[in-house]
Amino acid sequence: GQNIDQPTEMTATEGAIVQINCTYQTSGFNGLFWYQQHAGEAPTFLSYNVLDGLEEKGRFSSFLSRSKGYSYLLLKELQMKDSASYLCAVSPGGGADGLTFGKGTHLIIQP
Amino acid sequence: NAGVMQNPRHLVRRRGQEARLRCSPMKGHSHVYWYRQLPEEGLKFMVYLQKENIIDESGMPKERFSAEFPKEGPSILRIQQVVRGDSAAYFCASSPTEGQPQHFGDGTRLSIL
């Protein structure tokens, strides 16, 4: 089966750093993806990891440990516009390329 | 705009009618995916297509739902005899090859009266 877990909601302060964790149990693995989704809008691609380690992309970084079935998204220098849902998704690969998504983490940024 | 284009943005149907949702992938992308998002729920994979072929339809309901991606024109998700439970946001995504990041369209919000 496929199971992806992430916290339902998190709160952080403008200018600070926040880490959003994601654990997964899937039948196959061909990459882990992070998306941002504002209410009523399309998911926007942020980052992805195929190999273990840290991928940095401006204010956003994503980490993967395949042996632990674990990833996190790190957001630095938080801005009010970062208030959104953050979606963790896994590609199972092997010809089944549809992403399995977690329910998303609703991030609230406070002044 | 070279992004994934979906239309219509909003679609209202009465129970028993048919709904047709269209998706044009990004230029250069030949892989198309359809997802459904219910209120307060995560995105659920429905179907994965390449030109003229359904690659994986493991997330599609067995009845009333179908999808195609013809040689010419957009991908179509078709829902026959709609019911209230079909009300949701339907997102299309595309990628250049398998395993690459998928880029999403703005979605079609389907409302069933």
Digit-by-digit pLDDT tens for chain B (113 residues) are 579 999 999 999 999 999 999 999 999 899 999 999 987 788 999 999 998 899 999 999 999 999 999 988 999 999 999 999 999 999 999 999 888 899 999 999 999 99
Contact between residue B109 and residue B10 where contact means Cβ atoms under 8 Å apart: yes
Q: In B1-113, where does DSSP find H-type helix?
A: none
Confidence of residue A28 (pLDDT cuts 50, 70, 90): confident
Confidence of residue A1 (pLDDT cuts 50, 70, 90): low
Mean pLDDT of A47-74: 96
Eight-state DSSP code of residue A93 = B
User: Distance between CA atoms of B13 and B15, rounded to whole angstroms?
Assistant: 7
Nearest of B21, B39, B42, B27 to residue B106 by alpha carbon = B21
For chain A, what percent of residues have pLDDT higher than 90?
85
> Which region among A51-55, A92-96, B3-7, B103-107 has the lowest average model confidence (pLDDT)?
A92-96
User: Distance between CA atoms of A60 and A76, rounded to whole angstroms?
Assistant: 7
Q: Please check whether residue B85 touches A, CB under 8 A.
A: no
Contact between residue A71 and residue A88 where contact means Cβ atoms under 8 Å apart: yes
Mean pLDDT of the residues in chain A: 94
Q: Please check whether residue B97 touches A, CB under 8 A.
A: no
Residue A93 has pLDDT above 90, yes or no: no
Residue A27 has pLDDT above 70, yes or no: yes
Confidence of residue A18 (pLDDT cuts 50, 70, 90): very high
Mean pLDDT of A4-18: 97
Looking at the DSSP bridge assignments, the partners of residue B23 are B6, B75
As given in the structure block, the two tokens for residue B75 are: 């991908």
| pLDDT: which is higher, A26 or B25 | B25
Q: How far is A60 from chain B (nearest CA, A)?
A: 16
Q: Which of B44, B46, B56 sits opposite A96 (nearest CB)?
A: B56
Q: How far is A33 from chain B (nearest CA, A)?
A: 7
As given in the structure block, the two tokens for residue A86 are: 């953050």
